[in-house]
Amino acid sequence: MSTQPAAKAPASKIWEENATPRHRIQWCPGCGDYGVLSALKMALTRLELMPHEVLLIGGIGCSGQIRNYLNGNGFHGTHGGPLAYAVGVKMANPDLRVMALAGDGDTFAIGVENFVHTCRRDPEVTLIVMDNGVYGLTTGQRSPTGGLGQDQPEWSEEDPPPFSPLRLALSAGATFVAQSFSGDPKHAAEVYVEAMEHPGFAFVNDFSPCVTYNKFNTYEWFKERVEPVPADHDPSDLEAAWELLADFRRRGRSPLGVIYRNPRKRKIYKRVPIWPQELENIDLEPMLRGFR
């Protein structure tokens, strides 16, 4: 009889079992989120993670559905709330891998305050934003990142210029900032792996074209304007990160890869790890009785 420990089951199949058959994929044909889903499966498989080790938190919008298409534990939050839920889950179970999967409107409009303070606090949570510049679920209104690359002579309060999520993340103190393109799932998977292995808050902005409502920022448009981060770039240098973004902006290009990565030195948790001891002798029966 073998004494060797049992090997993990192949993760590539496990992440697909009981997912799509129960939840018919409802994205439009050609949606960029298919590329994110493919890249996410590759990343989870490469890290040999099992579904019970990961919690996927989705927000409101087309992007939030992605948690239904993976055979893992999922939570569907409110608009703008994925990061708030993710931080709470990580506090309650520090050993769990927690991922927030959200849209650009979800994250950078109603949820922008959660984004900024999550960057500041640096919890061990991964955020992948499917950025298409529109609110696809509500028929294509422009999101905060809408208007990318459009040379408009005039702007209005209702239609302001797009802002940069990457610059916002750096300004707010994020310790991992990266960008990917769903048109290149293999490269996106590499970025996701680095993000999930980062010991802190990891933010990945993924260009995920909306083929139905954003006819400007198409796959072809992005392919002509995205470039990999130069091999000699030092992602641990904050000033280099700012200079990189400035250079790409001057040239009308967008970087793909890790732009900034610099883990913080951390203090030992003072509160969360003692919860199990505090709750050890608590009698839950009276509370549970009320739900029966």
Instruction: State pLDDT tens for residues 115-129.
Output: 999 999 999 999 999
Q: Which pLDDT tens digit goes with each residue over 204-259?
A: 999 999 999 999 999 999 999 999 999 999 999 999 999 999 999 999 999 999 99
Q: Which pLDDT tens digit goes with each residue over 84-113?
A: 999 999 988 888 999 999 999 999 999 999
Q: Which pLDDT tens digit goes with each residue over 46-65?
A: 999 999 999 999 988 899 88
pLDDT for 263: 97
Residue 18 scores a pLDDT above 80? no
Q: Which two tokens stand for residue 204?
A: 């990945």
Second CATH level (architecture) for the domain 11-145+162-267: 3-Layer(aba) Sandwich (3.40)
pLDDT for 77: 85
pLDDT for 1: 44
Residue 19: name the closest of 73, 86, 62 by CA.
73
Q: Which two tokens stand for residue 129?
A: 């934003």
Residue 136: name the closest of 126, 146, 127 by CA.
146
